[in-house]
Amino acid sequence: MGLSCGLVGLSGCGKTTIFNAITSAGATSFDGSEMNRAVVGVPDSRVPRLIDIYKPKKVVYATLQVIDIPGLSTGSTANQGRGNKLLGHIKDVDALLYVVRCFNTERNDPKRDIETIDIELMVADAQTLENKIARLEKKAKGCKETAQEVADCLEVKVALEEGIVARKQNLSQRHIVSVFECNLLSLKPVLYLANIASVVDLDSPQVRSVRSIAEAEASEMIAVCGRDEAEISQLEPEERPEFLRELGLLESSMERLIRAAYRKLGLLSFFTAGEKEVHVWTCRQGDRAPVAAGRIHSDMESGFIRMEVIGYQDLITYGSEAAVARAGKQRIEGKSYEVQDGDIVFIRFSPPK
Ligand SMILES: Nc1nc2c(ncn2[C@@H]2O[C@H](COP(=O)(O)OP(=O)(O)O)[C@@H](O)[C@H]2O)c(=O)[nH]1
Ligand SMILES: [Mg+2]
């Protein structure tokens, strides 16, 4: 599905450190110039239990692409177009991870830092809209639809100039369609990451400030100990839990972070499972069975007959597919079924002639 998240935040807030923690890629911090890109498996604590039950030869996780771009600082957009070029790297991401520096408690101002990022995104977006408006102006004179499209773009641009990011403009469906091709940065879903020094700061005034900003826009905040977690991610997987416990963490916040990004994107995971393979698939919340089947193979969508479904919790409760079936908990679902997170599915379809 090629899902992607872009890390954004002021220079020195810990983006590269967190990128390293997420990806264990060992990319160097302080580069300041180049961009890092990595594809990571989405951690899913249900998978080890599926492995116990199915003993598959192969396991395939869902993936997420993470992009780290160099820091933004005030005015970088105006600054010889450098900001715009930097932001160009995240034009195509599905969501933004706003990294907010909360690890140096005296010198931080999370609210101001978040506003600074918002402003950078809005300046870039206003320019993108301006370009589209200029391009369509002539055509708009003779075509009513185009005139409407231009008027919509202008409205969004004016609101940006008044300081309202596109994601908070309550845009109508028509406005969203009108600005669609602009790929506005400030319209992308945002997940806030408060980068803290240690668990002692989990509820510091700065973290609370980030949380209230996130909640005010119906988003989420996750606190991460970027530097500690980057170090832990360098360890062998077996060694990690002990070090996490020493730091007072029950689990790596990277798993929580990636899962929250999934929720934010409106995604869910479902499984196909057997002796050959346990495979995690991704679809959107609300996708119907044929669409979800199409994630696996287009023939399964076009030739969809039905979906046989076992809920993850039922499988764990009864311990095997056969036991679930005996208990009458296996379900047969048709074309209108909305796939649920954790469904273990088997698709019946007629192959194309
Ligand atoms: N104490 C502390 N320092 C951190 C943390 N995360 C990053 N840093 C430090 O902050 C500096 C900038 O981090 P970096 O990841 O390069 O920031 P970027 O410019 O946003 O990519 C580096 O010296 C990091 O070691 C953290 O969680 N705690
Ligand atoms: Mg960096």
Kindly state the percentage of the chain with pLDDT values over 70.
90
Residue of minimum CA distance from atom 8 in ligand 1: 14
Judge whether residue 16 has pLDDT over 50: yes
**β-strand pairing of 63-68 with 4-8:** parallel
**For the chain, how many residues are written?**
353
Ligand 1 neighbourhood includes 30 CB (under 6 angstroms): yes
DSSP letters spanning 124-138: HHHHHHHHHHHHHHH
pLDDT tens, residue by residue, 151-172: 999 999 999 999 999 999 999 9
Residue of minimum CA distance from atom 7 in ligand 1: 14
pLDDT of residue 80: 45
> Residue 334's domain spans which residues?
286-349
Ligand 1 neighbourhood includes 197 CB (under 6 angstroms): yes
**Which ligand minimizes its atom distance to the CA of 29?**
1
Ligand 1 neighbourhood includes 12 CB (under 6 angstroms): yes
Q: What is the mean pLDDT of residues 61-83?
A: 67
Residue 91 lies in a domain: no
Q: How many domains does the chain have?
A: 1
CATH number, residue 336 = 3.10.20.30
**Which ligand minimizes its atom distance to the CA of 230?**
1
Protein residues within 5 Å, CB atom, of ion ligand 2: 15-16
CA–centroid distance, residue 282 to ligand 2 (Å): 29
Residue 314 lies in a domain: yes
CA dihedral 13, 70, 77, 125 (to 10 degrees): -90
DSSP state for residue 185 in the 8-state scheme: G
Judge whether residue 2 has pLDDT over 70: no
Q: Quote the pTM value.
A: 0.83
pLDDT tens, residue by residue, 229-253: 888 888 887 888 788 777 776 666 7
Residue 244 lies in a domain: no
**Cβ–Cβ < 8 Å for 229, 258:** no
pLDDT of residue 30: 44
Confidence of residue 1 (pLDDT cuts 50, 70, 90): low
pLDDT tens, residue by residue, 297-342: 999 999 999 999 999 999 999 999 999 999 999 999 999 999 999 9
Residue 58 lies in a domain: no
Residue 71 lies in a domain: no
Residue 292 lies in a domain: yes
Residue 195 lies in a domain: no
Residue of minimum CA distance from atom 1 in ligand 1: 197
pLDDT tens, residue by residue, 160-209: 999 999 999 999 999 999 999 999 999 999 999 999 998 888 899 999 99
Distance spanning both ends of the chain, measured CA to CA: 27
Residue 323 lies in a domain: yes
Ligand 1 neighbourhood includes 342 CB (under 6 angstroms): no
pLDDT of residue 107: 74
Task: Please give the mean pLDDT across all residues of the chain.
Answer: 88
